[in-house]
Amino acid sequence: MIPGSFEYIAPSSVDEALALLKENGESAKLLAGGHSLIPTMKLRLAEPEVIVDLNRIGALKGISESSGTLIIGALTTHYELETSDLAHRKIPLLAQTAAAIGDVQVRNKGTIGGSLAHADPAADWPAAILALDAEIKAVGQGGERSIKASDFFEDLYTTAIDPEEIITEIHVPIPGANTKGTYLKLPQIASGFALAGVAVILTQVENICQNLAVGVTGVSSVPYRAAGVESDLRGKAFSSDNIAAAAEKAVDGIDDVLEDIHASEAYRKNLAKVYTRRAIESAAS
């Protein structure tokens, strides 16, 4: 399988890349890690006329800390996040989520910005990004803007990013004291994508739940925050019964639960509850 013909340009700056997007409109596609786009092009499901390869733009890579926030360049690979000392020390959930993605070769090439922009409903990053209240920075002709994770995912493979915008950074607030997180998923055995994936961030003081954020991926066409679970458990003790009762609300208000050959709607709903319970138990232990 070989992609259709296209022009290839590898700009060295974000400004150049933006100019190319403006010039070529929707016939251009941005290439990051390529592990979603290139297979899609080989199947001729995507036939862009121009490929703008972002991989030579150094400014889009790397992880740094600034005033209580980790700033992750959009082109930072899953492997870099999985092995980042800064991520491990400041937000271990990021490293844990990265390590759960695909396989070694995919993590070597795949990028956080590319994954978010692709918005596969079973991708791993959305769960963590939602639970951590991250913000996605994007730049376009009209300048830079910041999009909250909760406003970012709009539909299957559809985000709030305009066709002429580029994701530049992901800003993740570093959680405060007594806060722990975890990411658990049931992977589809062949692809590694999440049949249900749950990221939890919780603040625990003397076994009482002070705060809780639950991000769920793989279950609905749009990843979401399980608000019912969060409000149910807040202020209560992390007992098995309380956690189990709260986790029952993991699909409350979700009316577009996915169904495919790997998992029925009923099974996915059950998985969401089970993995929410296990993730909270694991983080609170």
Tell me which of 192, 221, 278, 282 binds other proteins, using CB under 8 A: 192
Sheet holding 179-187, edge to edge: 179-187, 194-205, 208-217, 224-225
Residue 238 within binding range of other proteins, rule CB under 8 A: no
Is 33 or 218 the residue whose CB approaches other proteins more closely? 33
Q: How far is the CB of 241 from other proteins (least distance, A)?
A: 33
Residues 219/149, Cβ–Cβ less than 8 Å: no
Residue 188 within binding range of other proteins, rule CB under 8 A: no
Buried b or exposed e, range 49-81, using 16+ CB within 10 angstroms: ebbbbbeebeebbebeeeeebbbbbbbbbbbbb
Residue 51 within binding range of other proteins, rule CB under 8 A: yes
Q: How far is the CB of 282 from other proteins (least distance, A)?
A: 19
Phi, psi angles (nearest 5°) of residue 112: -65, -40
Residues contacting 105, CB < 8 A, separation 6+ = none
**Binding to other proteins, residues 11-50 (CB under 8 A):** 31, 34-35, 38-39, 41-43
Is 1 or 261 the residue whose CB approaches other proteins more closely? 1
Tell me which of 14, 19, 46, 55 binds other proteins, using CB under 8 A: 55
Residues 128/183, Cβ–Cβ less than 8 Å: yes
Residue range at the interface with other proteins (CB under 8 A); choices 5-13, 174-182, 217-225, 272-280: 5-13
Among positive and negative, which fits the CA dihedral 260, 263, 265, 269?
Answer: negative
Residue 189 within binding range of other proteins, rule CB under 8 A: no
Residue range at the interface with other proteins (CB under 8 A); choices 7-15, 63-71, 131-139, 255-263: 7-15
Q: What residue ranges bind other proteins (CB under 8 A)? A: 1-8, 10, 31, 34-35, 38-39, 41-43, 51, 53, 55, 79, 102-106, 108-109, 190-192
